[in-house]
Amino acid sequence: MNATPENTNGLLRVSDLRTYLDVPSGVVKAVDGVSLEVNRKEAVALVGESGSGKSMTALTIIRLQPVVARILSGEILLNDVDLLKLDTASMCDLRGTEVAMVFQDPMTYLNPVMRAGAQVAEVVLEHQDVSKGEARSQVLDAFERVGIPSPRRVYDSYPHQLSGGMRQRVLIAMAISCRPSLLIADEPTTALDVTIQAQIMDLLAHLREELQNALFLITHDIGLVAEHCDRIYIMYAGQIVEHADTFTLFAEPKHPYTEGLLRSTLSPDKRVEVFETIEGQVPNPTDMPSGCRFHPRCPHVKDICREESPPSLDLGEGRMVACWLYE
Amino acid sequence: MAGDYPLLRYSVRRILQAVPLIFWVVIINFTIIHLAPGDPAIYLASVTEATPEAYAELRKEFGLDKPLYVQMGIYLWKLLHLDLGYSTWHNSPVLGVILDRLPATMLLMATAFSIASLMGVVLGVIASRYSYSVGDHLATLASLAGYSMPIFWLGQLLILFFALYLDWLPSQGMYSMRGVEPGWPAVLDVLKHLLLPAITYATYHMTLVFRITRGKMQETLAQDFILTAKSKGLNERRVLYRHALRNALLPVVTVIGINFAYVMAGSVFTETVFGWPGMGRLIFESITARDYPMILGIFLVVSMMIVLANLITDILYAMIDPRVAYN
């Protein structure tokens, strides 16, 4: 009734999500107490290295985590409905319509023996009560929307006949064909040429304006999100270590890991002799360090960092950091 | 697009390639048979206890006194006129005898082969759906048994149990000796005779198809485009049959095609054990009788069937996987 503006804006709210994987060498705490929010029409990024658990977070949100995964705790509210409590059929109804996903590698994420158009039409036919002809024209519209130059030709092509950029456009068309309110893009440009990367990012931004969907972008490339996202979550070893709006985060990173990430990006403005990196290795997923998981690589490490994991500190104005330096 | 009708062009090319193949098969068959020790004249002479003069007469009569290449030339010339020669043992034209026996084998093979292929695929899909469950382990174990069992032994076990002990089904032949009324009773009679040899025939083939399908389905279900299919909101059935099975079928179709040759070979055992009046038993009889024209004729027909099976496999393969015809 008297909903606060924040509530009406809220689209996705994940709280204390834990997804553990049972692997032969032990238990991988891939997602370990993650909380995050995406508001309507907003672009939010989840940034982390490979293996940080960001893809597992995304897969858990649409409940397509692998069979070896166990969801130990958490709540995933999409439009105030807890996705973790839905039965399989209702979850299927939501996928594609309310929440859709674009994946990393357009080479392998399209079915090689099905025509591109048919793969997209399938989503429309699954979720809407339309004829095949109507579905076809909707797909052609979607193709045009994502900037495919000759929609009819692409419709009848098999994936192997299309370029990488074109395939990614087909996958994006597939994701937006039923106008989802949340689009999750998991490393949508990683497998593409640099020139195509910019085009795809621009396309995602353009579509967001047109379709008014929220974008949840998962990437390891912090440079990529600067232009396109409103807020950023930084993830390290299964946990969110920092959260801020994009401008603040770039201007004033708090967590030593975020600092390291920003330092190791290249920019044409700064000439560097030696390419900066973060010292050390990503921890072994089945054997996480005690205390703060970043402490073996942290330049500011204190005694307490080795003993206890840091609390998530609220710095006001929506900023969050999990680090003993700010306690 | 590469060509307007890639599948048609591909099929025509494959058919044209099959023609020289058959020619070489004929040459090799002929050479092998004539290089093998033994001589039909000796066999006939020994059966009829003939004098050396009569033996020489027999050799002359069958053209065996001429040089091998002349014999081959004569044989090829006759083949061109659809004359497969004259059976020394059956004392009638080879083609007639083969055409007499072919329908029985086709009935047995077509029934067993198609039911086994279909059941193998369906059971394989189900097993992959319930991977590593108790049922899956049992099915895998049973398929190992079926796969390893010698055909003639299985046939004899089935005869012992169903024909002799339970007395439900006939043990030998294709028709009842007493004679049955024409129409439905006759059809039923043949079906009753068909059941045991068909099961014997089908077991090996079905278990093989089952194992390949299960393995390939598991592999396919782990692929990226399956995740895409699920993220579209398709239910499990659609994902399994529309996306996974079609991709998993490729190697299965190949195995079914190759297996056709083994099944032909298996018909020798099955038909001998069950007294089925088909080609398999004819092969066995003809080899024992050193009936060269007959053996050659059968080999030719069998080779052509195998070439045809491979041709169908290739075309089916291209129909399932568009990449084949385009390359």
B238-283 pLDDT tens trace: 999 999 998 999 889 888 888 887 777 778 888 888 888 888 888 8
| Residues B92, B293 contacting (CB under 8 angstroms) | no
Around Cβ B154, how many Cβ atoms within 10 Å? 21
Inter-chain residue contact B228 with A114, CB threshold 8 Å: no
Average pLDDT over chain B, rounded to an integer: 84
Inter-chain residue contact B232 with A96, CB threshold 8 Å: yes
Asked if A274 has any chain B CB less than 8 Å from its own CB, the reply is no
DSSP-assigned beta bridge partners for residue A73: A18
Inter-chain residue contact A158 with B322, CB threshold 8 Å: yes
Question: Could you say which of B224, B233, B247 has the minimum Cβ distance to residue A126?
Answer: B233
pLDDT beyond 90 at B190:
no
Strands in A313-316's sheet, in edge-to-edge order, are: A99-102, A182-186, A214-219, A43-47, A231-236, A239-245, A319-321, A313-316
pLDDT number for residue B46: 67
B284: confidence class by pLDDT, cuts 50, 70, 90? confident
Q: What is the tens place of the pLDDT at every residue in A10-65?
A: 899 999 999 999 988 889 999 999 999 999 999 999 999 888 999 999 999 999 99
pLDDT beyond 50 at A5:
no
Listed residue (B281, B282, B232, B220) closest to B89, CA to CA? B282
Q: Which residues of A fall within a CB distance of 8 Å from B243?
A: 111, 114
What is the arithmetic mean of pLDDT over B289-303? Answer: 85
Q: What is the tens place of the pLDDT at every residue in B124-149?
A: 999 988 878 888 888 888 888 888 88
Q: Where are the alpha helices (DSSP H) in B179-291?
A: 184-221, 224-231, 236-238, 246-274, 279-288
pLDDT number for residue B2: 43
Inter-chain residue contact A112 with B225, CB threshold 8 Å: yes
Exposure pattern of A278-295 as b/e (b: 16+ CB <10 Å)?
beeeebebeebbebbbbb
What is the arithmetic mean of pLDDT over A194-208? Answer: 90
Q: Which residues of B fall within a CB distance of 8 Å from A95?
A: 230-233
Asked if A100 has any chain B CB less than 8 Å from its own CB, the reply is yes
Around Cβ B322, how many Cβ atoms within 10 Å? 20
Q: What is the tens place of the pLDDT at every residue in B64-81?
A: 777 888 888 888 888 888
Token couple for A74: 């958490």
Least confidently predicted of A28-32, B95-99, B177-181: B177-181
Q: What beta strand segments (E) does A144-299 contain?
A: 182-186, 214-219, 231-236, 239-245
pLDDT number for residue B41: 67
What does the alpha-carbon distance between residue B205 and residue B258 come to, in Å, rounded to a whole number?
11
Asked if B91 has any chain A CB less than 8 Å from its own CB, the reply is no
| Residues B232, A115 contacting (CB under 8 angstroms) | no
Q: What is the tens place of the pLDDT at every residue in A244-275?
A: 999 999 999 999 999 988 888 766 666 666 66
Dihedrals phi, psi of A19, to nearest 5 degrees: -120, 115
pLDDT number for residue B303: 86
CA distances from residue A250 to A78, A223, A230, B241, B315 in whole angstroms, order as listed: 29, 10, 12, 48, 58
pLDDT number for residue A4: 42
Inter-chain residue contact A105 with B227, CB threshold 8 Å: no
Backbone CA torsion sign across B219, B225, B226, B227: positive
- The DSSP symbol for B210 reads H
Helix (H) or strand (E) holding A108: none
Inter-chain residue contact B243 with A111, CB threshold 8 Å: yes
Question: Could you say which of A101, A109, A160 has the minimum Cβ distance to residue B323?
Answer: A160
Asked if A97 has any chain B CB less than 8 Å from its own CB, the reply is yes
DSSP string, A273-291: SS----SS-PPPTTSPPSS
What is the arithmetic mean of pLDDT over B28-43? Answer: 75
Q: Which residues of A fall within a CB distance of 8 Å from B227?
A: 59, 64, 103, 109
Inter-chain residue contact B321 with A112, CB threshold 8 Å: yes
CA distances from residue A283 to A29, A89, A287, A323 in whole angstroms, order as listed: 12, 38, 7, 17
Closest alpha carbon within chain A to B234: A92
What is the arithmetic mean of pLDDT over B91-104? Answer: 89
Q: Which of residues 249-268 of B touch A (CB under 8 A)?
A: none
Q: What is the tens place of the pLDDT at every residue in A82-126?
A: 999 999 999 999 999 999 999 987 789 999 999 999 999 999 999
pLDDT number for residue B239: 93
Q: What is the pTM of this model?
A: 0.80
pLDDT number for residue B33: 79
Could you give the ipTM of this predicted complex?
0.87
* Helix, strand, or coil (residue B292): helix
CA distances from residue A54 to A224, B149, B285 in whole angstroms, order as listed: 16, 50, 70
Asked if B316 has any chain A CB less than 8 Å from its own CB, the reply is no
Token couple for A10: 């809220």
